[in-house]
Amino acid sequence: MPARSYLTGLAFLSPALFVLIGFFFLPVVLTAVFAFTNMSTSTGISGGSYVITGNLLGSLKAQGVAPTVVDALSQASFVVDEQSIAKAQAAGTDAQFLAEIEQQLSGKAFSEERAFERELKSLRYRPRSIRDLKLAVDQFELSVLNTRFASAAEAREAVSELVPSAPADVVDEIVDASYTGWRWTTSNFTRLVSSSDTWRLVGNTIFYVAVTLSFTVFVGLFLAVTTFYLPAGAASAFSMLWLLPRITPVVLYTVMWKWFTWEGGFVYTAAQALGLPAFNYMKGSVPTAWTIVIMVNGFIGAAFAMILFSGALKAIPVQQLWASEADGASRWQQIRFIILPHLRWPILFVVSYQTLSLLSSYQEIWLTTNGGPGRTTTVWALESFNTALNSYTGNLQYGLGAAMALILVIVGVALSILYLRLFRFDELLSRPKIEF
Amino acid sequence: MTRNFANWPIVLVLLIISTPIIIMYAFLVIDTVTTSPPGSAIPNGFTLSHWRFLIDPTATGDVWRPTLTTILFTASIVVIVLGISSTAGYALSRLNMPFRRYFLAVVLVMHAFPLVTLIIGVFLVLQFVGLYNTLTGVVLVKAGLMLPFGIWIMKGFYDTVPWEIEMAGVQDGASRFTVWRKLILPQVKPGLFALALFAAIDAWGEYMLPRILAPSADFEVLSIYLNTVSDPDSTTYNFNLFKSVGLFYTLPILALYAIFRDRLMNIFGGGTKG
């Protein structure tokens, strides 16, 4: 009964499926979807409304909308009709006063607030306080400026009511431009391609990945090979020491680097004592900032590489080494002709795995230099994160950030699939032996 | 092994490239119990005053609440990761089902794939389901992001269990679930233990997810607490204080690591299989 065993499998798998769909599949889809929107803090995540603002009118004028229409829209007018009287009644304006307004001013319109106010002041039942009078005046104001309309139809109605002369397509244009929610667009990508910042980011990222990766591999190799030759005690002391960066929580680890390189920190104090230039090395100059970023990440990577390489070294048949020594091989020859060939696959693995994780890692950079000084140590992943979730100006551009992240996702998936082929995925898979 | 080469040059070079680590970690411990004169890194006196934050909340705010939150946070993540990885790993290792191959490939891609890239998407998902700014949301996301790794590790451990055990169980009429529960799970206890250790260390150190996905929530984990204490731009910035807090925060991890080093090495190395 294959169906039944399928069900068992699915039942075992379902909790994992649920979480993985929620936190992997869905985020990937959302990233892809929102990469094609202009969503930001100001547009909100759910839908928006229609608001005609002063700024918008200014830009509409610049776009060639007839000035008469724009001016009419920006003007408030005061109209006494059934609608406005009902509105004032609902707002609690004195009934006698209202009746008088209706009687004397019905059907009249005023383009200036002052004129209307003067007219009201001359009435017998006017309220005593100026504040109440102003409140009453407000009820008769007819303006679209800064009013929030929930739907396009409402906004269209309000605009055509205020400017009956405006042609329908102009009204549509105004209403469309007044939408505050997000919309579909490909401008994120055109912006990325045309911006010169983008290419600098790409350059930074390539530099960062290449140098950190070389640091990781060479230091990792050096550590693994040297500890391999050292007596057990010294070897385990060094390997434990180098594991510390990998297991220390990232906040403490980066804060320790800050202590090490910040103003008043260790290197600063030492440099002062020796008469060398002392400044905040993490933020004071570009070369020192890069050096620190690379070391902060490189130390973590080197620990990872060391573990893998040491594991692989232990698998080398020791007779090969004995034999080479009996033949008079120098240590360098041993490393070159026995050890390195054995480490080919582990090295390839570290390179592929680290490329991917360095490409997308920004946690350490964020917590140390935060891309500074200026934006010199900003990499692609950090910029994408800052754009979408961590902007100084307070306007988080989810759309643009998602577009940047999407590019990383695509690169990441392509590389992972390539690696799966490289590391022979098929061999990892065996068929179940109980079929029923 | 070989004795025909001198060791000291190697040790010297190793010491030189290890200098930053040695200095940072040595001073991490030393500075918490000493005072040093301004403008110098060399301590000149012994004191326990940097540890006052443990009993006196006026210096940095109460430290025990974040500690409890972190314990809760870590424990929930470990439970979720263990629960889901042990079932899914079993399914992928042993059970016959459609698309098993593809699912395994997808898990592997996810494992190789850097998760931080997804943070924007995860942020939007949490906004939509209303778990933004909640501890539950952060726990679920963190556990979710650890899952591919956990599933992969557990699958590896299940693969080493002999088929005979399972066949014997099925022969005697037990259901697949009972076989898994009563016969197979006890066989992979070392795997569960190693995964629990790893998940605990990982969750304990997590900083980014609570910071981004629950920026204004009413709970605080120790990593956030430490980062607040150790902001170099703040006026109360004090190297000794943040080191004491940092050491307090990291001690459980160092202890776990010291006790279970061998098992962890297994998973650190084995977890990143090719």
DSSP designation for B59: T
**What interhelical angle do B189-205 and B135-159 show, nearest 10?**
150
Chain B residues within an 8 Å CB radius of A10: 91, 97
pLDDT, averaged in runs of 10, over chain A (436 residues) = 70 85 85 85 74 75 74 73 76 78 76 76 77 76 72 77 75 77 82 87 92 94 88 85 88 88 82 83 87 92 88 84 84 85 85 85 86 84 85 78 88 83 64 50
CB-based contact, B232 to chain A, within 8 Å: yes
Q: What is the rounded average pLDDT for all residues in chain B? A: 81
**Strands A141-142 and A77-79: what pairing?**
antiparallel
Domain-ending residue, one of A177, A201, A218:
A177
**Res B5: pLDDT:** 61
**Cα distance between residue A96 and residue A98, in whole Å:** 5
Domain ranges in chain B?
A: 66-270
Say if residue B2's pLDDT is above 60. no
Same domain, A242 and A150: no
Chain B residues within an 8 Å CB radius of A245: 21
Domain-ending residue, one of A177, A204, A221:
A177
Residue A393 domain flag: yes
Residue A14 domain flag: no
Unique residue bearing structure tokens 């931080």: B116
**Res A396: pLDDT:** 82
**Res A295: pLDDT:** 92
Residue B267 has which token pair? 């998973």
CB-based contact, A188 to chain B, within 8 Å: no
**Res A360: pLDDT:** 82
Residue A433 domain flag: no
Chain B residues within an 8 Å CB radius of A260: 20, 23-24
Same domain, A172 and A213: no
Contact between A251 and B226 using a beta-carbon 8 Å cutoff: yes
Interface of A with B in 303-322 (CB under 8 A): 304, 307-308, 311, 318, 321
Question: Which is it for the CA torsion A308, A227, A314, A312, positive or negative?
Answer: positive
Write the CA distances from A252 to A239, B135, B143, integer angstroms.
20, 22, 22
**Cα distance between residue B14 and residue A241, in whole Å:** 11
Contact between B104 and A325 using a beta-carbon 8 Å cutoff: no
Question: Which is it for the CA torsion A178, A184, A189, A192, positive or negative?
Answer: positive
Peptide bond preceding A373: is omega within 30 degrees of 0, i.e. cis?
A: yes
CB-based contact, A344 to chain B, within 8 Å: no
**Cα distance between residue A38 and residue A198, in whole Å:** 18
**Res B270: pLDDT:** 46
* 3-state helix/strand/coil string of A269-325: HHHHHHCCCCCCHHHHCHHHHHHHHHHHHHHHHHHHHHHHHHHHHHCCCHHHHHHHH
For chain B, the C-alpha Rg in angstroms (whole number) is 23
Same domain, A221 and A116: no
Same domain, A83 and A150: yes
**Res A21: pLDDT:** 85
Please name which of A340, A330, A334 lies closest in space to residue A321, comparing C-alpha atoms: A334
Contact between A432 and B124 using a beta-carbon 8 Å cutoff: no
Contact between A425 and B105 using a beta-carbon 8 Å cutoff: yes
Same domain, A165 and A207: no
Same domain, A366 and A423: yes
Spatial contact of B48 and A276, defined as CB atoms under 8 Å apart: no
**Cα distance between residue A47 and residue A154, in whole Å:** 16
Same domain, A130 and A64: yes
Same domain, A216 and A359: yes
Query: Domain range spanning residue A407?
Result: 190-428
Please name which of B254, B210, B249 lies closest in space to residue B226, comparing C-alpha atoms: B249
Residue A29 domain flag: no
One-letter amino acid at A328 equals G
Residue A350 domain flag: yes
- At a CB cut-off of 8 Å and minimum separation 6, what does A11 contact? none
DSSP designation for B140: H
DSSP designation for A425: G
Same domain, A311 and A165: no
Domain-ending residue, one of A177, A200, A231:
A177
> Quick check: helix, strand or coil at residue A8?
helix
Looking at domain B66-270, its CATH superfamily turns out to be MetI-like (1.10.3720.10)
Number of domains in chain A: 2
DSSP A21-78: IIIIIHHHHHHHHHTTB---TTT-SS---EEB-HHHHHHHHHTT--HHHHHHHH--EE
Spatial contact of A235 and A320, defined as CB atoms under 8 Å apart: no
CB-based contact, B9 to chain A, within 8 Å: no
Find the angle CA(B38)-CA(B48)-CA(B260) to the nearest 5 degrees.
Answer: 110
**pLDDT, tens digit, 9 for 90 and up, residues B9-45:** 888 888 888 888 998 888 888 888 887 776 666 777 7
Residues in chain B: 274
Residue A108 domain flag: yes
Number of helical (H) and strand (E) elements in chain A, helices listed first: 24, 5
Spatial contact of A219 and B17, defined as CB atoms under 8 Å apart: yes
Spatial contact of A98 and A88, defined as CB atoms under 8 Å apart: yes
Contact between A2 and B207 using a beta-carbon 8 Å cutoff: no
**Cα distance between residue B140 and residue B148, in whole Å:** 14
Q: Name A78's bridge partners.
A: A110, A141
Q: What CATH number did the domain enclosing A309 receive? A: 1.10.3720.10
**pLDDT, tens digit, 9 for 90 and up, residues B53-82:** 777 777 677 888 889 999 999 999 999 999
Same domain, A91 and A144: yes
**Res B232: pLDDT:** 61
DSSP B169-199: HHHTT--HHHIIIIIIHHHTHHHHHHHHHHH
Count the neighbouring beta carbons within 10 Å of the beta carbon of residue A71.
12
Same domain, A167 and A226: no
**pLDDT, tens digit, 9 for 90 and up, residues B233-264:** 655 567 777 888 889 889 998 888 888 877 77
Q: Which of B1, B120, B213, B242 to mutate to test the interface with A (most CBs of A within 10 A)?
A: B120
Same domain, A298 and A400: yes
Contact between B204 and A249 using a beta-carbon 8 Å cutoff: yes
Contact between A230 and B7 using a beta-carbon 8 Å cutoff: yes
**What interhelical angle do B135-159 and B100-112 show, nearest 10?**
120
Contact between B166 and A349 using a beta-carbon 8 Å cutoff: no
Contact between A356 and B274 using a beta-carbon 8 Å cutoff: no
Nearest CA in chain A to B197: A247
